[in-house]
Amino acid sequence: MRKTLAAGTTLLLTLGFAAGCAGTRPAAAVATPTAGASGSASCKVRSIARPLGQTRVGSTVALAKLGTRSVALVADEDARAIEMIDLETQKEISTTPLDGAPSQLLVTTDGRILVLLRDRSQLQVLEAESASGPLAARCMIDTAPEPVALAATPDDSTVLVTSGWGRRLAAYESERMARAYEVALPREPRAVVVSDDGATAFVSHAMGAVISAVDLRKPAHPTRAIAMMGNEATTKAMLRATRKRVAEMKATGQLSEAQVSAFEKSLHTQERIGCQGFALAKSVAPSGRVLAPQVFVDPGVAEQRPEGYGSSQQATESPSVAVLDDTTTEPFETSLTLQRNLDWRGDKSARDHREECLLPRAAAVDPRSRMLLVSCFGIDNVIAYDAASADPQASERRRWSVGAGPSGIAVDPEQPRAFVWSQFDRTLSVLALGGSDLTDEKASPSPRPTTIALAPLAKKVPIDFALGRIVFHSAGDTRISKDGRACASCHPDGRDDAITWATPEGPRRSIMLAGRVTTAAPYAWNGASKTLDEHLRTTFDRLDGTGLKSLELEGLVAYVSTMRPPVAKQEALAADPKVARGAQVFASKEAGCASCHSGASFTDGNTHDVKSKTESDRGSSFKTPSLHFVGGTGPYFHDGRYKTLHDLLRDIDGKMGHTKQLSEADLDSLEAYMRTL
């Protein structure tokens, strides 16, 4: 009988986070007026807007008061606009076109509407001049590459911005929006919230198994990386319980000697790896806690070469909600337990994989009911957990079905309801949350949400792209995998999960997709698949998925082939003398980098034996990976043996190019150049 558990879509890639901890203080950024914005460089406004509630956290949907009118403001990425909806009439009021794709917006206490333009690396300040018209642009501020999330400090003196590709947390003085300082972070930072006392910013990461705690008060702004891993002691306890269950199954004849032997060989006490850290929320009652939806991942034991990707004996991915004390920055041990994650061979008491939240994307707390609301891509649900629990994942209270791609949640402080923006369907769902006492509601179905459909886009999203985007995020879809994983499980945001998986071919790290797919043929680390269709079919088969219909497969290929790559401003980098020197070293015959990493995609498309074979690998030759965006990925090599480019460049002499003769200065220059590719 074939084992089921495997790793996400094998369009594979990386890990490694350059854990920069010290803050830097560049010259203050100058806010520039937006074209047609009265010619003033000031970011001050006289907006009639006021936030509805005091969340001080950015989202793709925010609630505001415009005079007496209550509205929802939606950051619509596909429309490249901010949509305004009247909360009472549930009708669209206006559309404000933007110069880029918005990632989040935030309404400040003084009425400014801040919006991040992810593809332009800018923060824009807008003003509401009326209760019905479009917003007026006031000024634009440059950010580090790919700004993705916003938050304000409790005293409203500082606005914080995380930049995914830029690996930065930037602090802006609120009144003038002048940059005060930047802090280097591990890779792919996402959500940011601030502790109740304003001393610490907590930043989630899409991959890398950490939450960054940044000291906002000390001059150097030191950062602590908080490990988001399954608890080791709990793992051992659960292994003991699982062994007892296996013994019982053996005694009753449910397992053969061979099955028991195979299971014993597969047991390991490796901690589960935290992933999918896209969302954070602050607990209100009780206060002083940070709630972090995530997913625990078991990549398996490489030496065993499972038939799929990952562990062959236990659930590969399981949902979790970590709880952190915002004063001590320590996680609650009970929230990092693995009790639900070691259900072996599909225990009937376990939740169906098709119902699990394996792609959490947004979170908010309703102080009235003390519920943590988490939106889940793929299953397109919003799940309510007990926000006061030490282990919210074990305390589910309600769930609602919403539109595809629920990327933002806003709670109405005036009425028991929440608004959920679903990007893929372009709908705003209204959830009835109920009162403060929901103890008896767990067993009853939640009322069906009211759905507000926005007007069709003037420039429609291509149908194949729209279909492929939904398929890519289809967690719980048995056509893709039997255990609930989606393509986005291993390739969040089209990047990679920073994990090296056990596979039938040996250890393999996941590969970044965005900006790489069209030039990546042949596919897989061994170059065995000539086409992307062929590679996807092989992947679904190894995941025990039943496979997609041709139209869905075509849509998936169209989506991954047109994923927007991260946008970085390369002009300044290219002008750096160190980068110029690195380019010379890269192209030199002595170093030999360009002999394999050639052409526009920096790959010759061939396989080579670079003496990197491990004992677990079936083959010894590996495809030359593209170097596009190599500086933002990691770890490196097919098995992720090198955490950083620095380590790789100093250890590969004679195996892959020649670097021994290079000086430290030239090696640094070579690394600097590679980070610009």
**Count of other CB atoms within 10 angstroms of residue 567:** 16
* Pick from 70, 63, 91, 77: nearest CA to 425: 77
pLDDT (tens digit per residue) in 86-100: 999 999 999 999 999
pLDDT in tens, 483-530: 889 999 999 999 999 999 988 888 989 989 988 887 777 888 887 788
Question: Span 168-182, mean pLDDT?
Answer: 94
| Confidence at residue 3, expressed as pLDDT on a 0 to 100 scale | 30
pLDDT at 36 over 80: no
Whether the pLDDT of residue 66 is over 90: the answer is yes
Measured over the CA atoms of residue 547, residue 548, residue 554 and residue 558, the dihedral's sign is: negative
pTM over 0.85: yes
Average pLDDT of the segment spanning 288-292: 96
Dihedral angle at the C-alpha atoms of 364, 299, 490, 193, nearest 10 degrees? 30
Q: Which of the residue ranges 44-58, 180-194, 302-316 would you say has the lowest mean pLDDT?
A: 302-316
pLDDT classification of 170: cutoffs 50, 70, 90? very high
Percentage of residues of the chain with pLDDT beyond 70:
85
Region of 293 on the Ramachandran plot (φ > 0 left; ψ -120 to 50 alpha; else beta): beta
Closest CA to 491 of 3, 14, 139: 14
pLDDT bin (cut points 50, 70, 90) of residue 212 is very high
Q: If you average pLDDT over every residue of the chain, what do you get?
A: 84
Q: How far apart are CA 24 and CA 194, in angstroms?
A: 20
Q: Does domain 571-674 have CATH number 1.10.760.10?
A: yes
Structural domain boundaries in the chain: 23-184, 463-561, 571-674
CA distance 7 to 539: 9
Q: What would the mean pLDDT of 401-419 be, rounded to a whole number? A: 96
What digits encode the pLDDT tens for the residues 371-380? 999 999 999 9
- Which pLDDT value is given to residue 438? 47
| pLDDT the model gives residue 520 | 73
Phi then psi dihedrals of residue 596, to 5 deg:
-110, -40
- Provide the token pair at 462: 């291509």
* Residue 618 pLDDT: 85
| Fold matches, 23-184 and 571-674 | no
DSSP 416: T
Question: Contacts by 660-664 with C-beta closer than 8 Å and gap 24+?
Answer: 661/590, 662/585, 662/591
Backbone angles phi, psi at 292, to 5 degrees: -130, 95
Measure the CA dihedral 289/292/293/294, to 10°: -150
Contact by Cβ (8 Å): 367, 386:
no
In degrees rounded to 5, what are phi and psi of residue 344? -105, 135
pLDDT at residue 341, as a whole number? 41
Task: Identify residue 344 by its one-letter amino acid code.
Answer: W
Token pair, residue 379, equals 């299953």
- Residues 6 or more apart from 554 whose CB is under 8 A from it? 464, 468
> What number is the average pLDDT over the span 127-141?
93
Spatial CB neighbours of 623, under 8 Å, sequence gap ≥ 6: 522, 524, 525, 526, 527, 603, 605, 606, 607
- Please tell me which residue, 106 or 445, carries the higher pLDDT value: 106
**How many other CB atoms sit within 10 Å of the CB of residue 668?**
16
* Residue-wise pLDDT tens digits, 556-604: 999 999 998 887 655 556 678 888 898 888 888 888 888 888 888 888 7
Q: How far apart are CA 287 and CA 323, in angstroms?
A: 12
Tokens of 269: 């006490």
Only one residue has tokens 């498309």, namely 605
Range name among 11-20, 276-285, 639-648 with the lowest pLDDT average: 11-20
Residue 650: what pLDDT?
A: 86
Facing residues of 382 across strands? 375, 400
- When pLDDT is cut at 50, 70 and 90, the band that residue 13 belongs to is very low
Could you report the per-residue pLDDT of 342-398, keeping only the tens digit for each? 443 444 444 566 789 999 999 999 999 999 999 999 999 999 999 999 999 989 999
- Fold entry, domain 23-184: Methylamine Dehydrogenase; Chain H (2.130.10)
Does domain 463-561 fall under CATH 1.10.760.10? My reply is: yes
Q: pLDDT tens digit string along 536-550?
A: 888 898 888 898 998
| Neighbouring C-alpha atoms within 13 Å toward the C-beta of 258 | 1
Average pLDDT (158-175) is 95
Range of weakest confidence among 246-255, 332-341, 456-465, 522-531: 332-341
Return all residues near 575 (Cβ < 8 A) that are at least 6 apart: none
What is the arithmetic mean of pLDDT over 470-475?
95
Residues forming a β-bridge with 140: 32, 124
Tell me how far apart the alpha carbons of residues 569 and 550 are, in angstroms, rounded to a whole number.
38
Task: Return the DSSP state at 551.
Answer: H
Buried (b) or exposed (e) across 257-291, using 16+ Cβ within 10 A?
eebeeebeebeeeebbbbbbbbbbbbbbeeeebbb
